[in-house]
Chain A
Amino acid sequence: MATVEERVKAVTARVLNVDPAEIKPEHYFTVDLGAESVQSVELVAGFEVEFGIEMDEEEALSVETVGAAVEFITQVCKRQGVPIEEWRRPRRAARKDPP
């Protein structure tokens, strides 16, 4: 499963039509990524669909950066019992054959 951050970036990239590789946690949706008024609402709607959650409108729309969105969505998912991958687990090291 992709991490919350990856999924947030994917939705953001799709709604705002930007390259996901360019999106950084410190980016503001409006100033840095160019989200207009209706796009902010579309982003929140997109996050709800992506994660299968319901977000409070006022709280969700007050989130300004990608990183803050990741944190906020993580908290909502936990409250609503939605399973998520919070961070990418380090790839398991290749088992060495016993000597």
Chain B
Amino acid sequence: MTQPARKHPLVDATEPNLLEDTFAYDLPPRIHLDGQVVETIDGKPVAFDFAAVKDRDIHITDTTFRDGQQARPPYTIDQMVRIYDGLARLSGPRGVVRQTEFFLYTKNDRETLDRCRALGHAYPECTGWIRAVKGDFRLVKEAGLRETGMLTSSSDYHIFHKLKFKSRRECLESYCEVVAAAFEAGVRPRCHLEDVTRADIDGFVLPFVDRLMEMSRGVPEDQAVKIRLCDTMGFGLSYPGARLPRSIPKLIYKLNRECGVPSPRLEWHGHNDFHKVHVNGATAWLYGCDALNTTLFGFGERTGNPPLEGALVEYIALKGDLCGIDMTAVTDLADYLRSIGLPIPDNYPFAGRNFNTTRAGIHAGGLRRDERIYNIFDTAALLNRPPRVAITDKSGADGVAHWVNEFFGLKGDERVSKIKCAKLARWVIDQYEVEGRLTTISDEELEARTRELMPEHWARFKGGA
């Protein structure tokens, strides 16, 4: 039999250790990062200091109006203005949501931009998005924008098969002409290296970025090229040891430390084709990208982008501070977007109708004893979303009692015990065992039955309602 390498004696306790340094409950759980992380790159160990992220100016950028709109029918101008206003609430005074990008091609695009800017919010800054075409810079300049994204596809799939260049050199020179046009127009170009996780990194990406850095040395810092690493097909991998071009750590290392693109000018843009989108974005932050490009509720082309609200929770967890972010705007924006037809799944984290709803009686029992047992953080305070119980045959009297207390809004000693809810619990069980019901019981049904079966409580807590 294998001998244990180390013995672990029980540390007996009569008081619980709730690890509140990490799980403070009034904030999302902290992400504590210890020591250096070593990745082997080109055969040599390279150290990354993840803990430094706490002091770095990491931030979020938004593409709800660009990539987000590529996955749905267009928003109206009023809708976009309303969403932009919500993004400003999420940005907080420090501009955690720093920028958002707009198309500039139609009259509606330009009117939207003007109306959003007229709101006077400091953040998110409005930037543009154009094709890599010299003439398009006129649109950016006329709109009075300081920065625009431009497509600079980097894989041979795009260079040869989509854009039909005859050679990489022809492609590179074409891109650089457009960058030069941006400089000439006084606009900061943000080069979107499309499909970079499927590109020849040594053969094209690094030489192209070297050239961009060289060109940037001739312009003021606030005009120097930014690089957006676009994981267009979601191929990026966060694992240490993964090879290029899929390795996010190695990609960022190469651009950041070999090509010399400073972290404030590096951005990650992911897609969720392999269920990796959020962690890949957070990985990019840790390895040296300051900007993480996102969309509200991850809604974007095909499987979507890093969800903005998820990035905010990650940001708060890394910083250990709310940083002035009004997270209740997540709930308001989810309600609004649902009202205009955006399908947010019910179990979607932080925003789905049931993200903190339990159906299991045993979990409902835990919630009644101490909300922290089955709630991820204080969702009532942070998101205006108290934990809830959906009532089915699995809810038990605990679930019914939890529902009743939430419905009456009772706290502490005022809360009704499950003994007082026995008749309502019996009605619920009979729905399934006697009536053969197969669906969840709605709030409206429960409300009516509460009034009928708990008349004294109804009179006390609802009065004449």
Contacts and interface: CB of A to CB of B under 8 A. Distances in A.
Partners in one complex: yes
A41 B420 CA distance: 9
A19 interface: no
Nearest to B423: A45
B417 A57 contact: yes
B426 A38 contact: yes
Nearest to A47: B419
Contact of B397 (A37, A48, A60): A37
A4 interface: no
B419 A55 contact: yes
B419 A44 contact: yes
A38 B396 contact: yes
Contacts of A6: none
B425 interface: yes
Contacts of A64: none
Interface string B381-402: 0000000000000001100000
B396 A42 contact: no
B361 A41 contact: no
B278 interface: no
A48 B422 CA distance: 12
Contact residue range for chain A?
Answer: 10 to 19
Given A37-B396, A37-B397, A38-B397, A48 B426 contact: no
Contacts, number: 30
A55 B422 CA distance: 14
B457 to A, nearest CB: 13
A37 B394 CA distance: 11
B396 A57 contact: no
Contacts of A57: 417-419
B270 to A, nearest CB: 45
A45 B420 contact: yes
B237 interface: no
Contact of A48 (B396, B418, B419, B423): B419
A86 B454 CA distance: 31
A22 B420 CA distance: 28
Of B417, B420, B421, B423, most A-chain CB atoms within 10 Å: B417
A7 B423 CA distance: 20
Nearest to A41: B397
A80 to B, nearest CB: 15
Contact of B429 (A38, A44, A48): A38
Interface in A14-43: 37-38, 41-42
Interface in A41-84: 41-42, 44-45, 48, 55, 57, 60
Contacts of B422: 38, 41-42, 44-45
B191 to A, nearest CB: 62
Contacts of B420: 45
Contacts of A60: 419
Nearest to A40: B397
A48 B423 CA distance: 13
B164 to A, nearest CB: 68
Interface in B332-389: 361
Given A38-B396, A38-B397, 12 more contacts: A37-B361, A38-B422, A38-B429, A41-B397, A41-B418, A42-B422, A42-B426, A44-B419, A45-B419, A48-B419, A57-B417, A57-B419
Shortest beta-carbon contacts, A-B, top 9: A45-B422, A57-B417, A41-B397, A42-B422, A41-B422, A38-B425, A44-B419, A45-B419, A38-B429
